[in-house]
Structure 1
Amino acid sequence: MRLLVALAVIVVISSLSGCVMEPVVYDQERAESVDEAIASFREHEELAPFFSEALAYAIFPSNWRAGGGFGGAFGNGWLFEKGEVTGRALMTEVFVGVNLGVQADRKILFFRTEGPLDQFKRGRFEFTGQANAAIAKTGKAVTPGYHPDVAMFVQVRGGLLLEVSVGTQRYDFFPLVPETDNTEED
Structure 2
Amino acid sequence: MKAINVRTILVGLLLLVFPLSQAWADKCQDAAQLFKNAGDSARFFENAYGYAIFPSIGKGGIGVGGAYGKGCVYEQGRQIGTATMTQVSIGFQLGGEAYAQIIFFQDKRALDEFTSGNFEFSANAQAVAITAGASASASTAGSSTSLSGGKKDAVTKGFGYNKGMAVFVIAKGGLMYEASLAGQKYKFTPL
Considering the TM-score relative to the shorter chain, is it more than 0.5? yes
Give the partner amino acid of 1:54. A
Change in CA separation of 1:161 and 1:103 when aligned onto 2, cut-off 3 Å: same
Pick the aligned partner of 2:47 from 49, 53, 73. 53
Unaligned runs of 5+ residues in structure 1 are 1-23, 177-186
1:44 aligns with 2:48: no
Pick the aligned partner of 1:35 from 29, 33, 36. 29
2-structure distance, mates of 1:57, 1:125: 14
Pick the aligned partner of 2:122 from 117, 122, 128. 128
1-structure distance, mates of 2:190, 2:170: 26
Q: Which residue of 2 aligns with 1:150?
A: 165
TM-score, reference length from structure 2: 0.68
How many Å apart are 1:168 and its aligned residue?
1.1
Q: Which residue of 1 aligns with 2:185?
A: 170
How many Å apart are 1:54 and its aligned residue?
0.7
1-structure distance, mates of 2:187, 2:111: 12
Q: Which residue of 2 aligns with 1:9?
A: none
**RMSD across aligned positions (CA):** 2.9
Change in CA separation of 1:53 and 1:173 when aligned onto 2, cut-off 3 Å: same
Which structure has the larger Rg?
A: 2
Equivalent runs, 1:3-82 vs 2, <5 Å: 25=18, 27-82=21-76
8 A contact 1:94–1:167 mirrored in 2: no
Larger RCO: Structure 1 or Structure 2 (Cα < 8 Å, ≥ 6 residues apart)?
Answer: 2
8 A contact 1:73–1:92 mirrored in 2: yes
| Corresponding residue pairs, total | 151
Unaligned runs of 5+ residues in structure 2 are 1-16, 127-135, 139-149
More strand by share: 1
